[in-house]
Structure 1
Amino acid sequence: MDKTPFLTKEQAEKITKEFPTPFHIYDEKGIRENARLVKKAFAWNKGFREYFAVKATPNPFILKILQEEDCGVDCSSLTELQLAEACGFSGSDIMFSSNVTPAEDYKFAYKLGAYINLDDITHIEYLEKLTGIPETICCRFNAGGNFTISTFVMDKPQDAKYGFTRKQMFEGFRMLMEKGAKHFGIHAFLASNTVTNDYYPTLAKQMFQLAADLRKETGADITFINLSGGVGVAYKPDQTPNDILAIGEGVRRVYEDILVPAGLGDVAIFTEMGRFMLAPYGALITRVLHKKHIYKEYVGCDACAANLMRPAMYGAYHHITVLGKEDQPCTYMCDVTGGLCENNDKFAIDRMLPPTDIGDLIYIHDTGAHGFSMGYNYNGKLRSAELLLCEDDSVKMIRRAETAADYFATFDFCGIMDKYLK
């Protein structure tokens, strides 16, 4: 797969004259085209809706773009619910999927009329005492064991903290019906960042059979099945990207095989594809500050793990392009690092790049989801700006960079940082 930046060196250099590096930038054209492709892939299902996972990219400008493309939002906290409300989402536009959920979060979700997705059977009585049980309610399913496709173990639901067991799903549906629930959804998340067209159809087969069994044994009116996320992106150049049209067709075949004969041919399919929707359409732009020659070669950038945590946190691969040197041979092995006081503050280890110089602009691919949103302030590092490359090739700031005043603002009650808060 060709990992081609959506920015040229000339574009990036022009942008840096107004917005200093590092910054995250998103491609509006790519986001819109991808959202339309997802909708096309599931157009066979009249109730289909993509609920974008706000946790992936919690920026109101991004959420408004997706809203214009008829997406809903998936929220997991009070703050995300507040962001969704501020962007004009309400009622069935919102899925609320949370775990270890505080009372205030449930209350606000109920107030908004969101679809509430219960993560645990004990939350049935908890929610009933807080707000009462809404007429439409969803339960999250954990199948246990290992999740496999053919003989390959993709993930281990048995080790995940999420969801009801199969037995609890039946018990929970009966409890909810006794407490006034009239319509039901089923939700599951079994694997993360899969790069295979078989994942969703395999998950769908399991979910659709569960729905048919629940309908048969409890008589519950199941109105939607949420396949959640897990459809990933090709972070590495040698990976074959998912084909969302093939994935949608695979789910359709399983739907026709299982749900239609069970009398569930009107069930809506929901998805929550934060990574697939956004990751390829965001990049972290950073400039080379230093080069170090000791036991290894190091390229030091003005971005760090505080701007993109995934490589430091669990060794995630992000492809790197040295802008303007795309056609040069990759003959230079180096670690690409930031300036944190942590040795895992590395965007790449033993990565082959073109000969790289101080001042070069580095384009780190696929940061549009779980990039900026996982940022933090260790070492007093400040979160970067977020920019949008608009469809007309103009660039606008959609979140300003933090300043020292932002960092010190929570100290303002004591007065000792006043000179930095002006």
Structure 2
Amino acid sequence: MQKIPFLTLEQVKEIVKTYPTPWHIYDEKGIRENAKRLNEAFSWNKGFKEYFAVKATPNPFIMNILKEYGCGVDCSSMVELEMSDACGFSGKDIMFSSNETPIEEFKFANDLGAIINLDDITHIKYVEEVCGKLPKTMCARYNPGGVFTMSNGIMDNPGDAKYGMTPDQLIEAFKIMQSKGVKHFGIHAFLASNTVTNEYYPKLARELFEFAVRIKNETAINVEFINLSGGIGIPYTPDSEPNDIFEISNGVKKAYEEVLEANAIMDVAIFTELGRYMLAPYGALITEAIHEKNIYKHYIGVDACASNLMRPAMYGAYHHLTVLGKENEKASEVYDVVGSLCENNDKFAIDRKLPKIEKGDYIYIHDTGAHGFAMGYNYNGKLRSAELLLQEDGSVKMIRRAETDKDYFATFDFCNIMDKYLK
């Protein structure tokens, strides 16, 4: 699979006249087409709803685009709840999935009418105390323990994850909640991350459907919605094939029919909670090559750093690089492409074959639309970059300005030391 930028060098040269690099940019057309595709794939389920994982790309402009396609939001913190509220999401359009949750966040989620997704059985009492009583609708997070494996060798380790309840705990939690007036129940699970396979969702769905049958048999509770959460990945490397959302959905439908409908459990709504799948391919980080260094290795220094995109530094994640304007040139050089942080892991690429890069070249870092800007930070006093939107008509709109030194200094509150910079 060839990775093709959604921006050309000519477009970038025009944009930098107004917005100096580095910046993140999102492709509105791609986002909209993908949201339509997801809804079409799951149209067989009349209760289907995507709860966009705000943590992936917390920007109101992006959230409002997805809202047009019936998406709700999945929130994990007070600020994400506040942002969702400000964007007009309310009630059952908000899923609050948190862990080790401060008490005031449970209260605020309840005030908004959000669906609270409990991470632990002990949180039942916690929510009841802060809210006065339990909401009529509740969800619980399921963790089966052990190792979750797929036939293609992909595996993850739920038993080593801090999230969710054991199956026995979750059933006990439902019994307790039912005794306290809860009427509507849902279950949720996230058992593997960034899976580039059509097998993951159907396998997870079958396991959750079978668990819903067990819940009905042991408690007489009908699970009304099942949240398959996230985990559908994208092909970060050019040699990987993308997931087929229609094949994935057909696999979920088959499990739905064979497990739920076969056990007379009908009209269960399927929820998803996708971030990476919804946004990652439709975002890029644009950075300029500003230095070249030759010592034991050949380095290209750029004006972005791990503060703009943490994933490669944090866990060695691969992001494809395109040297704009040189898409058809031979990859004749081997570079480490690095940022300016005082950390040796501040590298966007290691031993990467690329066309010869000159200072002033613009590098397009692919697939940063999710968990890109969102994971930014201020180490070394680095400032977060702007976020731009490439609109369907080809124009560019700033949807978050770049931070300034005034933003960085504004939280200091001692002796007016920084006043000269705040004026």
Q: Match of 1:51?
A: 51
Deviation at 1:180, TM superposition (A): 0.8
Percent pairwise identity = 67
Where do 1:55-134 residues align within 5 Å?
55-131=55-131, 132-134=133-135
Cα distance between partner residues in 2 of 1:227 and 1:188: 6
Matched, 1:222 2:223: yes
Deviation at 1:189, TM superposition (A): 0.3
**2:273 corresponds to which residue?**
272
Secondary structure of 1:201's counterpart equals: helix
Give the conservation status (yes or no) of the 8 Å contact 2:190–2:230. Answer: yes
Provide closer, same or farther for how the CA distance between residues 392 and 192 of structure 1 changes in structure 2, counting only shifts above 3 A: same
Structure 1 SS opposite 2:337: strand
SS of 1:38's equivalent in the other structure is helix
Answer yes or no: is the 8 Å Cα contact 2:212–2:222 preserved in 1.
no
CA deviation profile, 1:286-336 (whole Å, cap 9, x unmatched): 000100011100000000000000000000000000000000011110100
Which residue number corresponds to residue 241 of structure 2?
240
Match of 2:171 in 1: 170
Q: Distance in 2 between matches of 1:59 and 1:74?
A: 13
Letter in 2 for 1:225: I
1: CA distance, partners of 2:116 / 2:371: 23
Identify if the C-alpha distance between structure 1 residues 27 and 94 changes in structure 2 by more than 3 Å, giving closer, same or farther.
Answer: same
The 8 Å contact of residues 231 and 276 in structure 1, kept in 2 or not, is answered as yes
Q: Report SS of the residue matched to 2:304.
A: coil
Please list, as runs of the form range in 1=range in 2, the aligned pairs for 1:146-225 lying within 5 A after superposition: 146-150=147-151, 152-225=153-226
Partner in structure 1 of residue 6 of structure 2: 6
Deviation string, structure 1 residues 228-252 (Cα, Å, up to 9, x no partner) = 0000000000001000011011100
Cα contact 1:182–1:221 (8 A) shared by 2: no
Q: CA deviation at 1:413?
A: 4.9
Aligned counterparts of 2:294 and 2:43: Cα–Cα separation in 1? 55
1:367 aligns with 2:364: no
- State the AA in 2 paired with 1:307: N
**SS in structure 1 of the partner of residue 18 of structure 2:** coil
- Once the two structures are superposed, the pairs formed by residues 130-145 of structure 1 within 5 Å of their partners are 130-131=130-131, 132-145=133-146
Distance 2:219 2:366 in 1: 48
Whether the aligned pair in 2 keeps the contact of 1:412 and 1:418 (CA below 8 Å) is no
Mapped to 2, the partners of 1:12 and 1:243 lie a distance apart of: 31
Instruction: Find the counterpart in structure 2 of residue 26 from structure 1.
Output: 26
The match for 1:314 is 315
For residues 146 and 15 of structure 1, the distance between their equivalents in structure 2, rounded to whole angstroms, comes to 47
1:399 aligns with 2:400: yes
Question: Residues 119 and 162 of structure 1 are in contact (CA less than 8 Å); yes or no, is this contact kept in structure 2?
Answer: yes
Letter in 1 for 2:96: F
C-alpha distance after superposition, 1:203-261 (max 9, x if no partner)? 00100000011011101131100000000000000001000011011100000000112
Letter in 2 for 1:161: K
1:93 deviates by 0.6
d(CA) in 2 for partners of 1:228, 1:293: 46
Alpha-carbon deviations, 1:41-71, whole Å to 9, x = none?
1000000000000000000000000001111
Identify the residue that residue 286 of structure 2 maps to in structure 1.
285
Q: Which amino acid aligns with 2:257?
A: E
SS class of match (1:124) = helix
Q: What TM-score, normalized by structure 1, do the two folds share? A: 0.99
Instruction: Identify unmatched segments of 5+ residues in structure 1.
Output: none
Note the C-alpha offset of 1:2: 1.1
Q: CA deviation at 1:151?
A: 6.8
Deviation at 1:152, TM superposition (A): 2.4
Cα separation, partners in 2 of 1:336 and 1:374, compared to 1, 3 Å: same
Instruction: Please report how far the alpha carbon of residue 87 of structure 1 lies from its aligned counterpart in structure 2 after TM superposition.
Output: 0.2
Please say if residues 308 and 372 of structure 2, whose CA atoms lie closer than 8 Å, have aligned partners that are also in contact: yes
With over 3 angstroms needed to count, the CA separation of the structure-2 counterparts of 1:85 and 1:354, relative to structure 1, is same
Please report how far the alpha carbon of residue 153 of structure 1 lies from its aligned counterpart in structure 2 after TM superposition: 4.7
Distance in 2 between residues matched to 1:388 and 1:283, nearest whole Å: 11
Query: TM-score, normalised to structure 2's length?
Result: 0.99
2:215–2:222 contact (8 Å) kept in structure 1: no
Q: Distance in 2 between matches of 1:153 and 1:61?
A: 34
CA RMSD of aligned residues (A): 0.8
Q: Distance in 1 between matches of 2:332 and 2:246?
A: 38
Give runs of aligned pairs for residues 325-344 of structure 1, distance below 5 A: 325-344=326-345
CA distance in 2, matches of 1:282, 1:175: 44
Give the structure 2 partner of residue 257 of structure 1: 258
* Contact kept in structure 2, 1:146 and 1:153, CA below 8 Å: no
Distance 2:13 2:141 in 1: 47
Q: In the alignment, which residue of structure 1 is the partner of 2:419? A: 418
Which position in structure 1 is the counterpart of 2:232? 231
- Matched to 1:316, the amino acid is A
Deviation at 1:264, TM superposition (A): 1.8
Which residue is equivalent to 2:306? Answer: 305
Tell me the amino acid that sits aligned with residue 311 of structure 2: R
**Is the CA contact 1:331–1:355 (under 8 Å) kept in the aligned structure 2?**
yes
